[in-house]
């Protein structure tokens, strides 16, 4: 385990209530950083690229639309036990880790600490109701805050690489700002338009780009949209079509259920599109995130146009 050059007690990080392990055997003298989810992994590897004696691994890298029912594996527990630093999204996304974190000595970087969160939506009547929406990485403004939190915290923990972390963060912030300006310009002609999402994770994304979510429905195994909800969506789309106000597009998450969305599409004669929550992938650094978000913006333009 690599020595943390700044005392851990100097970094007071609060845990909110809410993998991909390293390819080779980790070195004993390395600083082992464990990122909980793929977006956090991308931001952490962007900040740590080229840092001496630092290894970053990913805990959860699954084709899943959410983590509400995720259960830690034996390999996950070992990864948490061997981590010097754990970087988490926060805001309740990693509730499945609460017990494991309670027994861990690792420093924790909570990317949602101090961030203004939106209320959760789409979970009415579900067993896992949460107070806040944790999908903050879907808005580039929040990603900027996450990058800053990661870089600042790691610089305090590992002063030998502080300059590297700062330089990497600056480069990632520049790329992020440029991309975000482009996305906003592309969606500017559709500002104020409404969309329907069959996942609760897109309100940060829609809000950042000037769109309204008419309805966000979270469908999971054993829990589908009610007949009343579907009727409301069908009526809204028909009214929009009747008065030529622009069709209200329907979006599902890449790995989510499409049954109810397809039913609505058949009823009103519209198309169902898919958006990516970027919960899994193979890349590192900020570019895979920018690519995925750019594809989401292209999908919106196609649907709204």
Q: What is the DSSP string of 185-214?
A: HHHGGGTT-EEEEESS--HHHHHHTT-EEE
Q: At 121, list the tokens.
A: 């939506």
Which among 74, 39, 30, 72 is positioned nearest to 58, based on CA atoms?
39
User: Residue 134 has what pLDDT?
Assistant: 94
pLDDT at 28: 65
Instruction: Give the span between the Cα atoms of 175 and 187, in whole angstroms.
Output: 19
* Structure-token pair, residue 296: 């989401």
| Domain ranges within the chain, ordered by starting residue | 8-179, 183-304
Residue carrying the six token digits 């897109």? 202
Evaluate whether 175 touches 287 at the Cβ level (below 8 Å): yes
Q: How far apart are CA 216 and CA 208, in angstroms?
A: 16
Separation CA 213–CA 236 (nearest Å): 12
The whole-model pTM stands at: 0.87
* Level-2 CATH architecture, domain 183-304: 3-Layer(aba) Sandwich (3.40)
| C-alpha closest to that of 285 among 171, 161, 153 | 171
C-alpha to C-alpha distance for 150 and 249, rounded to whole angstroms: 36
Indicate the CATH number of 8-179 among 1.10.10.10, 3.40.50.1980, 3.90.110.10, 3.40.50.620. Answer: 3.40.50.1980
Residue 220 has what DSSP assignment? Answer: B
- Cβ pair 178, 83 in contact under 8 A: no
β-bridge partners, 253 = 275
Quote the DSSP letter at residue 131: S
Q: Residue 19 has what pLDDT?
A: 42
Residues of the chain short of pLDDT 50, as ranges, are 3, 5-25, 123-128
38-48 vs 140-157: helix crossing angle, rounded to 10: 50
Give pLDDT tens digits for 201-259. Answer: 899 999 999 999 988 887 665 566 788 888 888 988 888 877 766 778 899 998 777 88
Q: Residue 29's pLDDT is what?
A: 79
Q: What is the dihedral angle through the alpha carbons of 70, 75, 78, 83, rounded to the nearest 10 degrees?
A: -70
Q: What pLDDT does 133 receive?
A: 92
pLDDT for 59: 97
Task: Report the Cα 56 to chain-centroid distance in Å.
Answer: 18
* The pLDDT value given to residue 173: 98
């Amino acid at each position: 385990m690599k020595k943390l050059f700044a005392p851990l007690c100097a970094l007071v990080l609060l845990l909110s209530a809410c993998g991909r392990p390293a390819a080779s055997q980790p070195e004993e003298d390395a600083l082992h950083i464990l990122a909980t989810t793929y977006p956090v992994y991308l931001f952490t590897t962007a900040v740590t690229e080229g840092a001496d004696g630092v290894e970053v691994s990913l805990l959860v890298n699954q084709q899943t639309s959410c983590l509400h029912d995720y259960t830690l594996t034996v390999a996950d527990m070992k990864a948490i036990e061997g981590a010097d630093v754990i970087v988490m999204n926060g805001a309740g996304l990693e509730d499945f880790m609460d017990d494991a974190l309670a027994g861990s000595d690792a420093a924790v970087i909570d990317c949602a600490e101090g961030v203004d969160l939106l209320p959760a939506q789409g979970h009415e009547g579900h067993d896992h109701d949460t107070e806040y929406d944790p999908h903050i990485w879907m808005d580039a403004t929040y990603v900027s805050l996450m990058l800053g939190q990661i870089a600042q915290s790691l610089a305090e923990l590992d002063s030998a690489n502080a300059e590297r972390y700062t330089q990497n963060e600056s480069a990632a912030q520049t790329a992020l700002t440029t991309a975000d300006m482009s996305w906003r310009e592309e969606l500017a002609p559709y500002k104020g338009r409404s969309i329907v999402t069959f996942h609760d994770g897109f309100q940060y994304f829609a809000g950042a780009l000037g769109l309204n979510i008419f309805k966000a429905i979270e469908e999971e195994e054993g829990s589908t949209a009610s007949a009343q909800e579907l009727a409301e969506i069908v009526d809204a789309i028909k009214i929009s079509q009747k008065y030529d106000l622009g069709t209200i597009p329907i979006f599902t998450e890449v790995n989510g259920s499409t049954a109810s969305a397809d039913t609505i599409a058949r009823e009103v004669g519209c198309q169902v599109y898919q958006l990516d929550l970027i919960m899994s992938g193979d890349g590192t650094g900020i570019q895979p995130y920018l690519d995925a978000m750019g594809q989401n913006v292209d999908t919106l333009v196609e649907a709204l146009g």
